[in-house]
Amino acid sequence: MDLYMLIVALLACLVCNVNCLMFHLQPNARRCLKEEIHKGVLVTGEYTLSDAPGQKTDLIVTDTKGHTLVSRDNIDKGKFAFTTDDYDVFEICFISKMPAGQRGMVREATLVMKHGAEAKNYENIAEVGKLKPLEVELQRLEDLSEYIVKDFGYMRQREEEMRDTNESTNSRVLYFSIFSMCCLLGLATWQVLYLRRFFKAKKLIE
């Protein structure tokens, strides 16, 4: 049993979707990060910015269609969460603003993002469901297993889509090559017949 738990724990460490980023945000600048996430996945984020008196920073999360999923004004520290409606690339942007004529400070920003099983708050789940620690851990492992299965299923789906795309591309290339050859043969035949009529008209050949 201990060996089994160790293997599961190691697997969990490998597939955990936790991203911790630290970067510097210049005054009156925009810094964006992109994350590719599957459909129906819970995403949570926690951010912290260093102090900068008189300087405002906004947070906005959008998808490729331009939909705003999260919007926070004048942030310093906080959290956000959303659930993806479709597979997409999501953009998390920090926008620094300074009044005209004032010099700002470079702010240090920290962003911790989690999605999938790691984004769930199992302490609240345990409290609401009155679960024992072992039951909570089993629930977490079950959710993690489902996420892994979905991830593999998505990878296989993408593989099939890419294979279908390759086959379709190969078929189009083949048909285009055949069409090009037919056009060349038709053009060559027309040129031969035209030259033959031309030479006959000039009485160069019989």
Sketch the domain layout of the chain as residue ranges: 17-119
DSSP percent split of the chain into helix, strand, coil, nearest 5: 45, 30, 25
Closest CA to 43 of 88, 1, 8: 88
Angle at 23 between CA 17 and CA 26, to 5 degrees: 145
- Which of the 8 DSSP states describes residue 120? S
Each residue's pLDDT expressed in tens, for the chain with a length of 206 residues: 444 444 444 444 444 455 688 999 998 899 999 988 888 888 999 999 998 888 899 999 999 999 999 999 999 999 999 999 888 899 999 999 988 777 878 999 999 988 877 777 777 777 767 777 787 778 778 877 777 787 788 888 888 888 988 988 998 999 999 999 999 999 999 998 888 888 877 776 66
CATH class of 17-119: mainly beta
